[in-house]
Amino acid sequence: MMDDARRQEKKKGLTRGSQMGGPRRLIVRAGIVVLAVTVLSVMSVGVTLADDQPLPSMTIGYQNGAITSIYEKTLAIDGRTYGLMPDVVILDERGRKMDPSDLVVTAEVKFHLKKDPSDKIDKIDKMIVRLPR
């Protein structure tokens, strides 16, 4: 009975899965390995503190510091007082917009200065804030 089934398979040109030819078997195994590596690498990707950092090209020309005092219309960063432009853009480390009232002393900041033509002093026009955790 088994021999009849094998003879009919040979007549029709059919082969069993375990009798697959060399090149075809190699392609199937390579595909399985590539799929396994892809799945494992996607699963191993985690979120680190480095992922929260803004891109270096985004912060060219920015200064670093920590907020040491907060006043009504100015901030002291590392002991030096800076004004805020009326249209200041303040973002958290994930790029979400923040309100100046959300700032806290000891927060680490990256800030960009712009000269205000009316008072000729440096004012902050853009700032990225990393709040203490």
pLDDT (0 to 100) of residue 56: 52
Amino acid sitting at position 33: V
pLDDT tens, position by position, 62-121: 999 999 999 988 899 999 999 998 889 999 988 899 998 899 999 999 999 988 777 777
pLDDT of 55 above 60: no
Q: What is the pTM of this model?
A: 0.54
**Domain containing residue 103: CATH number:** 2.40.50
Does 16 lie in the same domain as 76?
no
Q: Is 13 helix (H, G, I), strand (E, B) or coil?
A: coil
Q: What is the dihedral of CA 53, 55, 60, 61, to 10 degrees?
A: -30
Give me the number of domains the chain comprises. Answer: 2
Distance in Å from the first CA to the final CA of the chain: 75
Does 74 lie in the same domain as 22?
no
Does 73 lie in the same domain as 24?
no
